[in-house]
Structure 1
Amino acid sequence: MAIETTHRESDSRYVSRVWTGRIEGAARMTSIATSTSELVFWSDAGVPRVSVRGPETAASTADIVGDSETFGITLAHGTSMAPLPNSALIDNQWDSPNVTARGFVLAGEEFEVPGVDDAEALVDRLVRAGILVRDPMVEDVVWGGIARVGTRSVQRRVAAATGLTQGAIRQIERARLAAALLEEGTPALEVVHRCGYFDQPHLARSLQRFIGRTATQLQRPDASAHPLSLLYKPRALPDS
């Protein structure tokens, strides 16, 4: 069984991507590692849910029971929820305590549940409310920019905004790029060179840890295998 997904990039500085997903029937899904947080809306047995999910530092398996439709707003590196400590969100999530089909509560304020086309409008409201904050330096240095502060200050600001180190972000994004290239049919040896791995065993260890697949499984998908969560090619390879 496959996951039906759609996704798009965003013109908001606070957002990396907006996506939707749909699964029918009971299944197990492989959730791949991700270095960003996201705001997720879904329905569980007809009950609406809203969560803030933190970065996932390794691939994991999740059980899905019944039909599931999910809508998510993936935040850009350096964007975080001010009321929620990033350290508490690593490999974890925060669930809104009060959700209806029309609204949800975050940091004591009520917001309307958006549609895919309204994602940026919700983000703007969260920014104005002081709930969503952004450190522009973090995204710049993650993707190769030069900071005007010392190395230790950079490390502290990256950790404060993401909950991860620059090295952890690079490892996760590199594995996601490698997996996307392999799915496109790129030979494993070429992926090793393009993504900066030492050799094929190094690539294999990274894929197993962060994607939960081997190179062969990505190049030759097995219809009986657990579906993967949203996998898309990063815009570039982040600096370490």
Structure 2
Amino acid sequence: MYVEQASRFPGAVVWSRTLGSPDDPVIRPVLPDGCMDLLWSEGRLLVAGPDTHAYVPVAGERPVRWAGVRFPPGTAPALLGVPACELRDLRVELADLWPASEVRRLTARVDAAADPVAALEDVALERAADRDPADPLLRRLAAALGAGRPVAATADELGLGVRQLHRRSLAAFGYGPKTLARVLRLQRALALAREGVTFAETAVRCGYADQAHLARDVRELAGQTLGELLGRG
């Protein structure tokens, strides 16, 4: 079963699931959301970079436990010490980013913990305490685009040129502001549709040209129809 709750890391969530468990046999795609995750899975620490399309986990021959800290858009690169664009659409070993000896120590610590989720969260919090926080401007950028503000207007409001905005967006989010806006609009549309808002009204409220535009965008980013994602397909 997938379990998610608010994290002690500001704006983040922590989650856990046992992939391949008979109690949770359906493998659901991980949809683009502008976020990055610090992951643990039975002797491994990994990082999930920002996705531009749906990622479908693969179950093995036996159930495997997973835990994760999902950071809000734009915050993980400062924590990890690597631009988000270098991890776009990737799952990489944390030892590829941090010293191997440190990762071995941290992995053993999480492996031995009674609650791997809390132990992984502690790793993130301790790392954050030693790093400069993410630029507040990035939070304003994500909030503006997440609310549907146009990219050019957002750049003006933040006092940035379009090229500078694009460069900073790549480093912080993994892709340019137009792609980020598209991904965040997908998440807004899913939230409305899950609340029971009709697809036509969802399209209007999220700024799509029409319902067909919404359908195309969902299919391209998520690999499924909106109805399938909501369990109606």
Structures share fold, TM-score greater than 0.5: yes
Deviates more, 1:200-209 or 1:150-159: 150-159
Any conservation in 2 of the 1:29–1:63 contact (CA below 8 Å)?
no
Q: 2:98 aligns with which of 96, 102, 106?
A: 106
Give 5+ residue unaligned stretches, structure 1.
99-104, 223-240
What is the aligned partner in structure 1 of residue 94 from structure 2? 96
Any conservation in 2 of the 1:158–1:164 contact (CA below 8 Å)?
yes
What is the aligned partner in structure 2 of residue 38 from structure 1? 37
What is the aligned partner in structure 1 of residue 197 from structure 2? 186
Is 1:69 aligned with 2:65? yes
Q: 1:129 to 1:94 in 2, by over 3 A?
A: farther
Please tell me the root mean square deviation across aligned C-alpha atoms, in Å: 2.8
Any conservation in 2 of the 1:78–1:136 contact (CA below 8 Å)?
no
Any conservation in 1 of the 2:203–2:214 contact (CA below 8 Å)?
yes
Q: Secondary structure at the match of 1:73?
A: strand
Q: Secondary structure at the match of 2:158?
A: coil
Note the C-alpha offset of 1:155.
2.6
User: Percent identity over the alignment?
Assistant: 24
Aligned residue pairs total 207
Once residues 160 and 59 of structure 1 are traced to their aligned partners in structure 2, the CA distance between those partners, rounded to angstroms, is: 21
Note the C-alpha offset of 1:202.
0.6
Q: Secondary structure at the match of 1:61?
A: coil
Note the C-alpha offset of 1:220.
4.3
What is the aligned partner in structure 2 of residue 200 from structure 1? 211
What is the aligned partner in structure 1 of residue 54 from structure 2? 59
Note the C-alpha offset of 1:133.
5.2
Q: 2:45 aligns with which of 39, 50, 56?
A: 50
Which one-letter code corresponds to 2:139 in the other structure?
E
Aligned 1:1-240 pairs, distance under 5 A: 4-13=1-10, 15-23=11-19, 24-25=21-22, 28-43=27-42, 48-65=43-60, 66-79=62-75, 80=77, 81-97=79-95, 106-108=98-100, 109=102, 110-111=105-106, 112-113=109-110, 115-130=116-131, 134-144=134-144, 146-221=157-232
Any conservation in 1 of the 2:165–2:177 contact (CA below 8 Å)?
no
Once residues 51 and 221 of structure 1 are traced to their aligned partners in structure 2, the CA distance between those partners, rounded to angstroms, is: 33
Note the C-alpha offset of 1:31.
2.7
Note the C-alpha offset of 1:28.
4.7
Any conservation in 2 of the 1:53–1:93 contact (CA below 8 Å)?
yes
Which one-letter code corresponds to 1:64 in the other structure?
A
Which one-letter code corresponds to 1:215 in the other structure?
L
More helix as a share of residues:
2
Q: Secondary structure at the match of 2:32?
A: coil
Any conservation in 2 of the 1:36–1:76 contact (CA below 8 Å)?
yes
Q: 1:37 to 1:218 in 2, by over 3 A?
A: closer
Once residues 32 and 164 of structure 1 are traced to their aligned partners in structure 2, the CA distance between those partners, rounded to angstroms, is: 15
Once residues 84 and 172 of structure 1 are traced to their aligned partners in structure 2, the CA distance between those partners, rounded to angstroms, is: 21
Q: Secondary structure at the match of 1:158?
A: helix
Note the C-alpha offset of 1:86.
2.4
Any conservation in 2 of the 1:52–1:94 contact (CA below 8 Å)?
yes
Which deviations, in whole Å up to 9, do the C-alpha atoms of 1:46-69 show, x marking residues without a partner? xx2210110110124332122132
Once residues 213 and 17 of structure 2 are traced to their aligned partners in structure 1, the CA distance between those partners, rounded to angstroms, is: 31
What is the aligned partner in structure 1 of residue 148 from structure 2? none
Q: Secondary structure at the match of 1:168?
A: helix
What is the aligned partner in structure 1 of residue 147 from structure 2? none
Q: 1:150 to 1:198 in 2, by over 3 A?
A: same
Any conservation in 1 of the 2:16–2:67 contact (CA below 8 Å)?
yes
Any conservation in 2 of the 1:52–1:95 contact (CA below 8 Å)?
yes
Give 5+ residue unaligned stretches, structure 2.
145-153
What is the aligned partner in structure 2 of residue 225 from structure 1? none
Once residues 219 and 30 of structure 1 are traced to their aligned partners in structure 2, the CA distance between those partners, rounded to angstroms, is: 12
Once residues 219 and 207 of structure 2 are traced to their aligned partners in structure 1, the CA distance between those partners, rounded to angstroms, is: 17
Q: Secondary structure at the match of 1:213?
A: coil
Once residues 219 and 127 of structure 2 are traced to their aligned partners in structure 1, the CA distance between those partners, rounded to angstroms, is: 36
